[in-house]
């Protein structure tokens, strides 16, 4: 969504909850909502505050309840982490201990640390972690500063999620060599679906991600919603349906929807994968 971006289209944002409910199939049957990254543009508390208000309105409109926290899943995107702070794990500089003039600040030089540290990662993710906890009421956000953990709150639906931290897996949904570092974890947990967002186009050139044991993950990648698209780019969201037989998931459907500049919603491609 990228609240705070200079390309942010407020008219689309404000009308989306009602447009979504009116123009998608069976909105009353939605069990939960996934917000899959790039919620803000600059990881600012003010941007997260604006996002909190909007996401709350969306959940109340679509899910029909005000106590929606257990039916909302949040994932960080690279824009939701303060990359300037996290870069200090690898780089350092000598900043004056007293007020400095412009010329002194211009002469500050970055240099590589002798040993990479991780201390600044906690500070870099603080605004997102506070936001995620406040809107989901999920203690995992407080218990796991790495932002990577198994989420069991949807087990009543027979689903378990693994949250991945984009600070360590930059654009993991789009670069094949990076998600492969999680190959063994996906296999051990019988994973069937990889959900990512914060892209700038409709990434369905590969509907699956192949693991080393020849099994495949179905892939759902949604484009950013409310920023003005460049030529050839799209904006939209996906609705994922898990079809069961005898309580076991046998097929995954990913229906893509495109958000047009006038606020209307256009039904896109349907991707299916049998298990």
- pLDDT tens digits along 47-83: 999 999 999 999 998 898 999 999 999 988 888 988 8
Q: Which residue has the tokens 């500089």?
A: 93
- Return the pLDDT at 160: 93
Query: Which residue numbers in the chain have pLDDT < 50?
Result: 171-174, 205
Closest CA to 81 of 122, 36, 137: 122
- Return the pLDDT at 26: 73
| Structure tokens that stand for 234 in this block | 């799209």
Cα 151 to Cα 159: distance, rounded to the nearest angstrom: 9
- Return the pLDDT at 202: 55
Where exactly are the structural domains of the chain? 10-92+112-274
- Return the pLDDT at 171: 47
| Structure tokens that stand for 165 in this block | 């931290």
Cα 108 to Cα 54: distance, rounded to the nearest angstrom: 40
Contacts 24+ apart (CB under 8 A), 52-56: 52/131, 52/134, 52/135, 54/1, 54/3, 54/13, 55/135, 56/135
Which phi and psi angles does 266 have, rounded to 5°? -110, 130
Strand order in the sheet with 236-245: 236-245, 248-259, 265-274
212-231 pLDDT tens trace: 888 888 888 877 777 776 66
Q: Is 93 in contact with 127 (CB distance < 8 Å)?
A: no
| Alpha-helix residue ranges (DSSP H) falling in the chain | 10-23, 45-63, 83-86, 102-106, 119-136, 140-143, 176-179, 183-188
Cα 99 to Cα 105: distance, rounded to the nearest angstrom: 10
Q: Is 257 in contact with 266 (CB distance < 8 Å)?
A: yes
Whole-prediction pTM: 0.86
- Return the pLDDT at 218: 85
In a 3-state reduction of DSSP, which class is residue 223?
A: strand
Residue 40 carries which DSSP code? B
Cα 201 to Cα 256: distance, rounded to the nearest angstrom: 12
Q: Is 62 in contact with 101 (CB distance < 8 Å)?
A: no
- Return the pLDDT at 252: 92
């Amino acid at each position: 969504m990228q609240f705070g971006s200079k390309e942010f289209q407020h008219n689309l944002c404000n009308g989306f909850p009602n447009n979504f409910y009116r123009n998608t199939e069976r909105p009353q049957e939605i069990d939960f909502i996934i917000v899959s990254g790039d919620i803000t543009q600059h990881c600012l508390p003010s941007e997260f505050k604006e996002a909190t208000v909007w996401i709350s309105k969306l959940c109340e409109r679509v899910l029909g309840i005000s106590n929606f926290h257990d039916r909302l899943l949040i994932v960080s995107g690279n824009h939701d982490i303060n990359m300037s702070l996290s870069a200090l794990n690898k780089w350092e500089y000598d900043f004056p201990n007293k007020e400095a003039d412009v010329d002194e600040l211009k002469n500050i030089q970055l240099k590589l640390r002798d040993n990479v540290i991780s201390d600044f990662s906690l500070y870099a993710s603080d605004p997102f972690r506070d936001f995620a906890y406040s809107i989901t009421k999920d203690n995992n956000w407080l218990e796991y500063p790495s932002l990577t953990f198994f989420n069991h709150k949807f087990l009543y639906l027979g689903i378990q999620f693994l949250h991945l931290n984009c600070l360590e897996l930059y654009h993991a949904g789009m670069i094949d060599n990076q998600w492969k570092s999680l190959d063994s974890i996906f296999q051990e947990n019988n994973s069937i679906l990889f959900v990512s967002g914060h892209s700038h186009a409709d990434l369905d050139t590969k509907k699956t991600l192949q693991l080393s044991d020849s099994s495949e993950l179905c892939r759902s990648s949604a484009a950013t919603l409310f920023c003005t698209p460049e030529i050839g780019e799209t904006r939209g969201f996906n609705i994922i349906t898990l079809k069961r037989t005898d309580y076991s998931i046998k097929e995954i459907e990913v229906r893509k929807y495109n958000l047009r500049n006038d606020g209307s919603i256009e039904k896109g491609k349907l991707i299916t994968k049998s298990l």
